[in-house]
Homo-oligomer: A and B are copies of this chain.
Amino acid sequence: MRIECIAIGTELLTTRRLDTNSVWLGEQLAGLGLAFHRKTAVGDSREDLAALFREALTRSDLILTTGGLGPTFDDFTKELFAEIMGVELVEDVQSRDDMLAFYAARKRVPPAVNFKQALIPVGAEALRNPVGTAPGVWWQDPPEHPGVRIVMMPGVPREMKRMWEDQVAPRIRPLAGAAVQTLRMVVAGVPESTLDERTREVREAHGHLDWSILASLTQVELLARGPDAAALEAARLAFAPVLGPDLVSLGDGNLEDAILAELSQRGETLAVAESMTGGLLASRLTAIPGASEAFLGGVTVYSVVAKAALLGLDPEWLERVGTVSEACATALAEAVRQRLGATWAIAICGNAGPGTEGGAPLGSVFIGLSGPGGTTVKPITMAGDRVEIQLRASALALDLLRRAISAGR
């Protein structure tokens, strides 16, 4: 089955808006053993949208659209598909009632523009939206396109996800063939090209699997896909000695999931003291459900005042050693570990720019790690913009902790 995704909205072409919907849908499809062959983002231009819809109808069996179902002046996904098929839009009574109920529950009256959302192309089926006001559309075998399915979903992620789970996925599942399974190996502390070289031989020995390598600022993923669980398991066994301690985890999680799971299992706890990363490390940990089992919390000591007031560091001493220094990283890690009574503590200080901090050059970072065996500091110089340096430093800190935990230091 050829599946394509069309994300609609001028904002997707021009501004700081990421198309997270199609990423999520790609994952959902992967779970069904399906995959997009293409994803397109296109603006709220009638002409461009109509051209793309016509193309998609020639090359795909399943077309998933997100966006353009709203009440505002720049929403016209349903209208265009209806036009292409030469049918009218009619009001769907259930959708109209749902919208009225949605507003009534909030003690509001629907703005007049909202009624247009209840219009559905003749021959299509409305998909109810229990968490918003824009119904979706399921259109199977539209005029002159037998075998094609068009699914129009809202652009609001929460509404799209709910609609997919409750109404779209159940209709698509029976169309999926043998499920493709994925072996996902998360690796940290190794550059992508090194990992490529190091694993080439094993990968080629398992060349019947579909391989990809995926590097981000925080980790590298090695993915294998295939229909045969035994083949994936054989690949996993062959990789274990090649990856050694660089292998963070198998399956869905990332570095932070692996660390939290390991700590929880050991009954150990973690505290953090963040200067340069300013809460990013804590935020990455607490984005994981159940983080509170092992993560106690920490401090964002973005100023000398905070370092003194929250962790008792002496401002004069800080002035002398510098807030970007090995001594500062050590003191922060030890102080937060002691205050919270944590098994482990991470401290990050550095200069992510712009400019210099306390005379430290841009990209200069010190990561302190304090645990049952004492405190160590890793000094490192990082390249990139502010947020990249913050991301890299938080990932490196987590990886240092991971290695220390498994070494039992």
Contacts and interface: CB of A to CB of B under 8 A. Distances in A.
Contacts of A194: 111
Contacts of A52: 38
A212 B10 contact: yes
A339 B297 contact: no
Contacts of A229: none
B278 A15 contact: no
A10 to B, nearest CB: 5
Contacts of A310: 297, 299, 310, 339-340
Nearest to A26: B14
Contacts of A213: 72, 74
B16 A27 contact: yes
A114 B156 CA distance: 42
B285 A283 contact: no
A289 interface: yes
B38 A287 contact: no
B298 A214 contact: no
Given A158-B384, A339-B310, A23 B27 contact: no
A15 B43 contact: no
Interface string A312-353: 000000000000000000000000000111000000000001
Interface in A272-331: 272, 274, 277-283, 285-287, 289-292, 295-303, 305-307, 309-310
Contacts of A309: 339-341
Interface centre among A27, A278, A290 (most CB of B within 10 A): A278
Given A15-B214, A306-B296, A41 B44 contact: no
A97 interface: no
A39 B23 contact: no
A236 to B, nearest CB: 18
Interface string A100-114: 000000000001111
Interface stretch (A86-94, A237-245, A365-373, A386-394): A386-394
Contact of A197 (B113, B302, B339): B113
A265 interface: no
A398 to B, nearest CB: 14
A254 to B, nearest CB: 8
Interface stretch (A29-37, A76-84, A145-153): A29-37
A292 B387 CA distance: 15
A381 to B, nearest CB: 12
Contacts of A341: 305, 309
A354 interface: yes
Contact of A111 (B197, B211, B214, B385): B197
A268 interface: no
A197 B110 CA distance: 11
B280 A221 contact: no
A18 interface: yes
B388 A158 contact: yes
Contact of A71 (B41, B44, B193): B193
Contacts of A72: 192-193, 196, 213
Contacts of A9: 214
Contact of A300 (B16, B192, B298, B307): B298
